[in-house]
Amino acid sequence: MNKNKKSKVEKKLKDEDIIKTVDEVIDSFTNYHLYKLTSKKVIKEIKGSFSSGKESKLFWGKGFNNEDLAIKIFLTSTAEFRKSIKEYIYGDPRFESVPNKFRSLIYLWAKKEFNNLKRMKKYDINVPEPKGLSGNVLVMEFIGENGYRAPLLNEIYKELDSETILKIYNEIKENLVKMICDANLVHADLSEYNIMYWNSKVYIIDVSQSVDLNHPNAFSFLKRDLKNVYSFFSKLINVEEYEELERGTMPCLTRKEE
């Protein structure tokens, strides 16, 4: 980025007071992408962080229609994270090449999550609606209220009765069928830690690693997802045998094998 252009962007960001609460993750490159998303009328204001992870930090923000936004800033630069990124990109037919430059790799990873969300939303899968993307900044629908994110399944299951847990289980299965058979995607990291429950509805989150069905490891990723789901729910309620869960969530793949 041109040094003078970057300085003007930073000054404009400061003058417009877009970011109310910032910390060390907001570097000059991230500021530039936040500015672009503001110019495109995607982000009006960032209020503060509500979640942190190994690969990203999430901020609560507001859009120009006063809607709540989740702003995900990808930031990790560890060798372990770079290795894991490549595991889910190499072999995915949507990506012809994988850049070696770290920043380009992170931008590709953010784009991958944005595209996965768009594809899933297209087929009515319960995921946060993607709102915008620039560089390492992904903007999504905020699931929750007043800056407090919706609870994850692992945080709330003890408060739920068996009937509600069964409803959640069936809703997850329905979403998995649509993900596999309609969107032709595999989540590849599905568990009770990335499923939200809000207003009596399941939301599947964290889909950056999700792969196309033609990825060479798609089937093993899918089996891992199903085993995670089965392991969690089978301890809480009476469910079908694992093999039946597998057949029921992969009807399109079963038909292809026949």
Q: Which residues are catalytic?
A: 189, 206
> Pairing mode, if any, of strands 130-134 and 68-74?
unpaired
Contact 140, 69 (CB under 8 A): yes
Cα separation, 207 vs 77, in Å, equals: 19
**Which residues lie closer than 8 Å to 107 by C-beta, 6 or more apart?**
135, 136
Residue type, 3: K
If DSSP codes are grouped into helix, strand and coil, which group holds residue 98? coil
Q: How far is CA 22 from the centre of its chain?
A: 22
Q: Locate 128 and state its tokens.
A: 């946060």
Q: Is the dihedral of CA 142, 61, 118, 215 positive or negative?
A: negative
Cα separation, 13 vs 15, in Å, equals: 6
**Which residues lie closer than 8 Å to 37 by C-beta, 6 or more apart?**
43, 132, 134, 137, 139
Cα separation, 119 vs 38, in Å, equals: 24
**Which residues lie closer than 8 Å to 232 by C-beta, 6 or more apart?**
153, 154, 191, 192
Q: Locate 190 and state its tokens.
A: 């599905």
